[in-house]
Chain A
């Protein structure tokens, strides 16, 4: 048995993803988002999180998946990585599970259209369910955003 990890499970385009609990600040229902001009399209804007202004990004847009309208189940997961606080819009967030760190396998090149570098690995849990673990610092990599901006220009 390896180390036990507590993981928040959320879904995005019919896949299940995981983020370690200790990186998650809070999970919120959607609140009004203020658009920030001159930013990549996946940055939806900023929200007021109890007095703190937090940027929100659409994970579907970030991963290049097709964006869809938000629903009653949509949630904002606020994570804190590298002194940054950022909210992720996800389709739904519904579970907290324990997984064994040893069961995390290195990811295949492409999973559901997402580049492997955003992923930490694939974990098995429960009755043959697969959980895609995210590499948060790569997802929030700013130098890549700058590249994206330049492409758009």
Chain B
């Protein structure tokens, strides 16, 4: 069967399940007693196992299977969750994620998971508390055959079974190496070499890679199919130097059956309830609401119907729809122009109606591309948990407004900056537990991650109740790193000083940590957010905490812009960075150190000649006695740019200049005007130095 057709579906669904697993595990960690969470974790793991087995990803399936075994015990109250189990399950999840990522990247999804599998198995066996290493110490082969029962998977068992059926010798070998041996890995390798020459190795414990890296105590065990007799094998292995003891046990169908029984005991409870589970769960939920027990079946079938109300659509198709709509928008503007020229009533009415319909359509098309920020936020709880653990801090992440929607293009870009901000909050913001207690704060720090709509923007805030920004320290570092001079420093307001932490090459961390503090973080955050047409501000009270607020445009594909003329050329300036427009007289222009400045609302701001920046061929404001200006803003810096004439405000569709023309100074893209001509979009950020 051709699996490629199902691959994308598999990847999508695996990601969904992994996400669900992650979220539920985190929830479970905070409420370990809630068995209903375990149920849903179990269901996700079970579905994932089934899917990966069907698709032929054995490693994925076997790891999920082991996790499922652990969860099953927890679910049946045979096992209490503790930190070790959580950590192992999280490690397992990470491994699953990387395998799925490998599959996404065209790989085979294979990975060495023996270490995690071993810890999971030790949890199932209940002996993980008494250290995993001692398992191999036992010398009696028959006893250890039973003990290793869970280690052979179905595939390996069937290989052994077939070998025995066809008359081959199958051995279980335990080798112990002398205590004073220096190169244990080499000795192990020699044993494997010998076994490999005379037959096949089915399974080794620990795994071959672990053995080669000497990640074992003194003994290891091997299942092998060999042509040699029991005595020969024993003698040859014992002949390898520095081998303390070797035990070779011949396996027959009976001892294998014993193995199988041991394994089956573990699997049976896992498989049976898993099938019964979804229905009984649905039944339980419905029982409370509905009186009639006979409707249970109907209820169970109504649940999937509700799910299928959404469909997955290829992003490319949505992009194509958006492009087509953009063209329609251009034609609409053209039609409006024509109808106003022709002045025929019925034409004007029709065009007006079309305008209304197309603006509704525009709303829908834009909404289609909207994705809840949850798709970015959902990985943060896990990240914060791990960070907090590694820093030995106690931190609660409170997320609000995860259903706030943003354009997909923005969503794709906003992840990294937010990760930076959150890491910064965990590392620099929240104090250590001791410091918090000393400062009389609750032991556990809180990070609030909020998202909300406001006007044409979405705000995302990261607020913590940590130590706050130490402005003196910031100033000192800024002066030391040459970000500002001492003279400048005296004039800075508190807000200005806060913003200094976004300056390139700035870091107040006393020591560089893995998490943040290399001074590359925050300026990258700011430039990324600015490139998305947004901005970031910071608000802080020393000792009480810091709040970062990120403002983002709702969409990147259609923006409001001011169209201006420069001689024969037309340009668009994004409305978001325009403060206001005005007219100035030539004699209002001041000359300061050769720079042209103007007075504007009690401040002196630089005057930038757009015609000079853009090498305009047929316009120069020098010849005019009165010049139109547009005041633009970048952060808290302002500037006035001179233009020839205002055309008006318009919704424009952003177009890229293509791959041939990249990094053009002061130009961020292009748009197509109502008359079919291309107008370039000015990047106001490039005009303010």
Report the 9 A-B pairs with minimum CB-CB distance, sorted nearest first.
Answer: A34-B678, A37-B614, A51-B327, A53-B655, A53-B670, A84-B659, A84-B660, A38-B665, A55-B661
Other CB < 8 Å A-B pairs besides A34-B670, A36-B664, 18 of them?
A: A32-B677, A34-B569, A34-B678, A35-B617, A37-B614, A37-B615, A37-B664, A38-B614, A38-B664, A39-B664, A46-B670, A51-B323, A51-B327, A51-B672, A53-B657, A55-B657, A55-B661, A85-B658
Q: Nearest residue in A to B328 (C-beta to C-beta)?
A: A51
Q: Which of B655, B659, B660, B661 has the most CB of A within 10 A?
A: B660
A35 vs chain B, min Cβ distance (A): 7
Give bound CA distance, A96 to B680, whole Å.
35
Is B262 an interface residue when CB atoms closer than 8 A count as contact?
A: no
Is B552 an interface residue when CB atoms closer than 8 A count as contact?
A: no
> Please, which residues of chain A bring their CB within 8 A of the CB of B677?
32, 34, 48
> Please, which residues of chain A bring their CB within 8 A of the CB of B676?
48
B333 vs chain A, min Cβ distance (A): 13
For A, the interface residue count at a CB cutoff of 8 angstroms equals 25
Is B330 an interface residue when CB atoms closer than 8 A count as contact?
A: yes
Q: Nearest residue in A to B661 (C-beta to C-beta)?
A: A55
A41 vs chain B, min Cβ distance (A): 11
Q: Nearest residue in A to B662 (C-beta to C-beta)?
A: A142
Give bound CA distance, A34 to B656, whole Å.
14
> Please, which residues of chain B bring their CB within 8 A of the CB of A43?
661
Task: Decide: B680 and A36 in contact? CB cutoff 8 A.
Answer: yes
Give bound CA distance, A39 to B661, whole Å.
9
Q: A34-B678, A38-B615 are in contact. Are A51 and B664 (CB under 8 A)?
A: no
The listed residue (A39, A46, A50, A83) touching B678 by CB distance below 8 A is: A46
Give bound CA distance, A50 to B323, whole Å.
11
Task: Decide: A46 and B615 in contact? CB cutoff 8 A.
Answer: no
Is B103 an interface residue when CB atoms closer than 8 A count as contact?
A: no
Can you report 18 residue pairs joining A to B where beta carbons are below 8 Å apart? A34-B569, A36-B680, A37-B664, A43-B661, A45-B678, A46-B670, A47-B678, A48-B672, A48-B676, A50-B327, A52-B655, A53-B657, A53-B670, A55-B660, A85-B658, A85-B660, A86-B660, A142-B662
Q: A46-B661, A47-B678, A48-B678 are in contact. Are A37 and B672 (CB under 8 A)?
A: no
Is B326 an interface residue when CB atoms closer than 8 A count as contact?
A: yes
Task: Decide: A142 and B660 in contact? CB cutoff 8 A.
Answer: yes
Segment 41-89 of A: residues with Cβ below 8 Å from B: 43, 45-48, 50-55, 82-86
Give bound CA distance, A38 to B326, whole Å.
28
The listed residue (B613, B617, B657) touching A36 by CB distance below 8 A is: B657
> Please, which residues of chain B bring their CB within 8 A of the CB of A37?
613-615, 664-667, 680
The listed residue (B330, B614, B657) touching A46 by CB distance below 8 A is: B657
A153 vs chain B, min Cβ distance (A): 12
Q: Which of B617, B661, B676 has the most CB of A within 10 A?
A: B661
Task: Decide: A38 and B658 in contact? CB cutoff 8 A.
Answer: no
Segment 314-367 of B: residues with Cβ below 8 Å from A: 323, 326-327, 330
Task: Decide: A53 and B678 in contact? CB cutoff 8 A.
Answer: yes
1/0 contact string of B632-674 vs chain A (CB within 8 Å): 0000000000000000000000011111111011110010100
Is B399 an interface residue when CB atoms closer than 8 A count as contact?
A: no
Is B679 an interface residue when CB atoms closer than 8 A count as contact?
A: yes
Q: Which of A36, A51, A55, A84 has the most CB of B within 10 A?
A: A51
Q: Nearest residue in B to A81 (C-beta to C-beta)?
A: B660
A125 vs chain B, min Cβ distance (A): 30
Give bound CA distance, A39 to B664, whole Å.
8
> Please, which residues of chain B bring their CB within 8 A of the CB of A38?
614-615, 664-667
Give bound CA distance, A36 to B667, whole Å.
9
Is A140 an interface residue when CB atoms closer than 8 A count as contact?
A: yes
Task: Decide: A34 and B680 in contact? CB cutoff 8 A.
Answer: yes
> Please, which residues of chain B bring their CB within 8 A of the CB of A39?
661, 664
1/0 contact string of B5-32 vs chain A (CB within 8 Å): 0000000000000000000000000000
B664 vs chain A, min Cβ distance (A): 6
Task: Decide: A54 and B658 in contact? CB cutoff 8 A.
Answer: yes
For B, the interface residue count at a CB cutoff of 8 angstroms equals 28
> Please, which residues of chain A bring their CB within 8 A of the CB of B327?
50-51
Residues of A participating in the B interface, judged by any CB pair closer than 8 Å? 32, 34-39, 43, 45-48, 50-55, 82-86, 140, 142
> Please, which residues of chain B bring their CB within 8 A of the CB of A35?
569, 617
> Please, which residues of chain A bring their CB within 8 A of the CB of B666?
37-38
Give bound CA distance, A38 to B680, whole Å.
13
B683 vs chain A, min Cβ distance (A): 12
B594 vs chain A, min Cβ distance (A): 21
> Please, which residues of chain B bring their CB within 8 A of the CB of A36?
657, 661, 664, 667, 680
Give bound CA distance, A51 to B617, whole Å.
26
Q: Which of A37, A43, A82, A86 has the most CB of B within 10 A?
A: A37
B504 vs chain A, min Cβ distance (A): 24
> Please, which residues of chain B bring their CB within 8 A of the CB of A140?
660
A122 vs chain B, min Cβ distance (A): 27
Give bound CA distance, A36 to B323, whole Å.
23
B337 vs chain A, min Cβ distance (A): 16
Give bound CA distance, A86 to B659, whole Å.
9
Task: Decide: A55 and B680 in contact? CB cutoff 8 A.
Answer: no
Q: Nearest residue in A to B653 (C-beta to C-beta)?
A: A51
B560 vs chain A, min Cβ distance (A): 19
> Please, which residues of chain B bring their CB within 8 A of the CB of A85?
658, 660
> Please, which residues of chain A bring their CB within 8 A of the CB of B617?
35
Task: Decide: B330 and A51 in contact? CB cutoff 8 A.
Answer: yes
Give bound CA distance, A54 to B661, whole Å.
9
The listed residue (A48, A50, A51, A84) touching B658 by CB distance below 8 A is: A84
A23 vs chain B, min Cβ distance (A): 14
Give bound CA distance, A54 to B679, whole Å.
12
Segment 558-616 of B: residues with Cβ below 8 Å from A: 569, 613-615
A58 vs chain B, min Cβ distance (A): 14
> Please, which residues of chain B bring their CB within 8 A of the CB of A142?
660, 662
> Please, which residues of chain A bring their CB within 8 A of the CB of B665?
37-38
> Please, which residues of chain A bring their CB within 8 A of the CB of B326?
51
B357 vs chain A, min Cβ distance (A): 20
Q: Nearest residue in B to A34 (C-beta to C-beta)?
A: B678
A50 vs chain B, min Cβ distance (A): 8
Give bound CA distance, A48 to B323, whole Å.
14
Q: Nearest residue in A to B324 (C-beta to C-beta)?
A: A51
A70 vs chain B, min Cβ distance (A): 17
Give bound CA distance, A5 to B327, whole Å.
35
Q: Nearest residue in B to A37 (C-beta to C-beta)?
A: B614
Give bound CA distance, A43 to B657, whole Å.
13
B321 vs chain A, min Cβ distance (A): 13
A33 vs chain B, min Cβ distance (A): 8
> Please, which residues of chain B bring their CB within 8 A of the CB of A48?
672, 676-678
B684 vs chain A, min Cβ distance (A): 15
A151 vs chain B, min Cβ distance (A): 17
B572 vs chain A, min Cβ distance (A): 12
> Please, which residues of chain B bring their CB within 8 A of the CB of A34?
569, 670, 677-680
